[in-house]
Structure 1
Amino acid sequence: MVGFKNRYLVMEVFLSPDNGFGIDDLIILTQFNVSKAIKDSLLENFGECGLASSLISFQVKYVNSITKLCVIRASREEHNKVWAAITLVRRIGNCPVLFNLLDLSGSIKACRNAAVKCEEMKFEHYKLVLGDRLKDDNDINQQLKNSLEKIRTLEH
């Protein structure tokens, strides 16, 4: 018996800073609203049949609202359709967004390694940007540890 084949997409989400709304109107990324935006895009661009065939193994496995990184699982046969639908997403809620593919892999282990590497680089960038303010703020360091642990525990 052959196992069900999946593809894992490590995506970066860019929120538009000049969206015409105030800072308070920026959306907080969650698994629910990212999943809903992708499903809506699948329905709009590929119809009900395209949505139904893509939902067989579609799942948003991980979302980090700080670094805007997410991991998405799709079946091997449908991953191109899901990827196309992701690139066609222009809004999550009222907030304009763009998705950037950072890694595409066939195993959760390779995906996990790529996601950990991306998260570590993003947090290093935040440390450089924040500088001395970071030493006083233990919340950010704790969030880094929590997000890396959450990625490391990703499973099917």
Structure 2
Amino acid sequence: MIGFKNRYMVMELFLDPCKDLGMDEPVIITQFNLSKAIKDNVLINFGECGLASSLNSFQVKYVNPITKVCIIRAITMVRSVGNCPMIFNLLDLSGSIKACKNAALKCDELNFEQYKLLAGDRLTPDCQLHMQNCLEKIKLLEH
């Protein structure tokens, strides 16, 4: 018997910077709204039958709203979350969650270092705590 293989993708999200300037509230990327955006796009591109057949292997494993790094087990053809245009940048592709965990952890740490440099004095202790929680969450990921 052949086992079913999944592919995990470590992705970085780039939101449209022009959209952030005109909005009262910035778009916050969560597992829920990213999952909804992917499901909506699969429904548009493949219909109800395609969505139903892909739901068994679909999962958003991890999302960091600060660094915009996520781990997804899915098909991605997403061009927007809500009304905000965005682009996915594939950082790593693997058949195991362990390899993706390591790649995402490395990317998250590098992106947060850049974020700290850009934020400077405006970096709040809450933001640092949230980032530490995200790093701990990624270390605990399993199947």
Q: TM-score over 0.5 for the alignment? A: yes
Kindly provide the CA deviation profile for residues 93-151 of structure 1, in whole angstroms up to 9, marking residues without a partner as x: 111111111111110100100010000000111122123444xx322321221111000
Partner SS, residue 45 of structure 2: helix
1:151 counterpart = 2:138: yes
On the 8 A contact 2:13/2:86 being kept in 1, the answer is: yes
Counterpart position of 1:71: 71
Gaps of 5+ in 1: 75-81
Deviation at 1:5, TM superposition (A): 2.1
Counterpart position of 2:33: 33
Deviates more, 1:116-125 or 1:52-61: 52-61
Partner SS, residue 97 of structure 1: strand
Equivalent residue letter for 2:85: P
What's the RMSD between the two structures over aligned residues? 1.8
Deviates more, 1:2-11 or 1:112-121: 2-11
Query: What is the count of residue pairs matched by the alignment?
Result: 143
**How many angstroms apart in 1 are the aligned matches of 2:111 and 2:23?**
21
On the 8 A contact 1:26/1:95 being kept in 2, the answer is: no
Gaps of 5+ in 2: none
Matched-pair identity in %:
67
Equivalent residue letter for 2:71: V
**How many angstroms apart in 2 are the aligned matches of 1:15 and 1:26?**
10
Give the TM-score normalised by structure 1: 0.83
Equivalent residue letter for 2:82: G
Distance 1:20 1:117, change over 3 A: closer
User: Within 5 A, what are the aligned runs for 1:11-90?
Assistant: 11-19=11-19, 22-74=22-74, 82=75, 86=76, 88-90=77-79
Counterpart position of 1:116: 105
